[in-house]
Structure 1
Amino acid sequence: MTTTARAELRVDASRERLWHALTDPETISRYLFGSRVETDWREGSPILYRGEWDGRPYEDKGTILEIVPGDRLVTSYYSPLSGKPDEPASYQTVSYLLAEEGDGTLVTITQDGCADDAEAERLSGNWAAVLESLKRVVEEG
């Protein structure tokens, strides 16, 4: 059985502004731990995340599974830092969902395929930190 990590946060910005933040490599690096993202933002295309985590360089990867501008972005995701082999069973699915909430936007991130509740809790905490950083970047300009 697998569990899902989840984090959500309301941001005082339009869905369009948040969509830009989710798909603009320069903006992404400002809230996603300095990650440099490479993709063409098309369904079926590869997506790469490069950076440094705890002093170690990484290159995580996946595929864009679904992309609906202003609404949702769904990707597969694999990190060699997980210690798991690079095979289909080791990939997780990460979803970024945007929904209007009053005059702002509710951003929800989920990551499925967690090995257990402890991993889901750890990843939920990481995503909560990413969302707080995203909120700062988007709201402060």
Structure 2
Amino acid sequence: MSGHVAAAEVEIEATPERVWRTLVDPDCVRQYMFGSEVVTDWRAGSAILFRGQWEGKAYEDKGVILDLDEPTLLRYTHYSPLSGAPDEPASYHTLTYALEPVGAGTRLTLTQDNNDTEAAAEHASGMWRQLLESVKALAEE
């Protein structure tokens, strides 16, 4: 991992398989990913797009799925034009979702690398904690 790393973690009262389904189901993604529509075939090497509206402005974030190991690991690159950074490799983050069985539930950890500063990493960590709480709520329904 490069740059400052943002991290968030949550324990979920659901199996890793249930949490995995929540992470990849398009209807669930829309609910936990700030209203985004996800477009992908969930295969390593494939494109992944997140489309939506933020503060009245249309956006399309993009990346490539790097690793998929159902139900334990999902890793993809991510670039958002809303960041204001140029669309070049140095502007991409790698998002890693790691699922680990814990008792009858699952520990879900999310990391995001390549943050420019510790403050940026802290800000991202806060956003990712909110996202994981939404995943938790959906998976435990």
Q: TM-score, normalised by structure 2?
A: 0.96
The alpha-carbon deviation at position 102 of structure 1 amounts to: 1.1
- Mapping of 1:46-65 within 5 angstroms? 46-65=47-66
Listed one character per residue, the Cα deviations across residues 67-122 of structure 1 (whole Å, up to 9, x for unaligned) are: 00101000011000111100111111000000011111000000000000111001
The alpha-carbon deviation at position 56 of structure 1 amounts to: 1.9
SS at the partner of 2:122?
helix
For 1:24, give the aligned amino acid.
D
Unaligned runs of 5+ in 2: none
- Mapping of 1:99-110 within 5 angstroms? 99-110=100-111
> What's the Cα RMSD here?
1.0
Distance 2:135 2:48 in 1: 19
Query: Are residue 128 (structure 1) and residue 133 (structure 2) matched?
Result: no
Query: Are residue 15 (structure 1) and residue 21 (structure 2) matched?
Result: no
The alpha-carbon deviation at position 54 of structure 1 amounts to: 2.6
SS at the partner of 2:140?
helix
Most deviating of 53-62 and 93-102: 53-62
Distance 2:9 2:101 in 1: 13
Q: TM-score, normalised by structure 1?
A: 0.96
Aligned residue number for residue 72 of structure 1? 73
Percent of aligned pairs sharing the same letter = 50
Unaligned runs of 5+ in 1: none
The alpha-carbon deviation at position 45 of structure 1 amounts to: 0.3
Distance 2:48 2:3 in 1: 24
Listed one character per residue, the Cα deviations across residues 51-77 of structure 1 (whole Å, up to 9, x for unaligned) are: 122332210000000000101000011
SS at the partner of 2:7?
strand
For 1:114, give the aligned amino acid.
N
Aligned residue number for residue 41 of structure 1? 42
Listed one character per residue, the Cα deviations across residues 25-74 of structure 1 (whole Å, up to 9, x for unaligned) are: 11111111111000001110000001122332210000000000101000
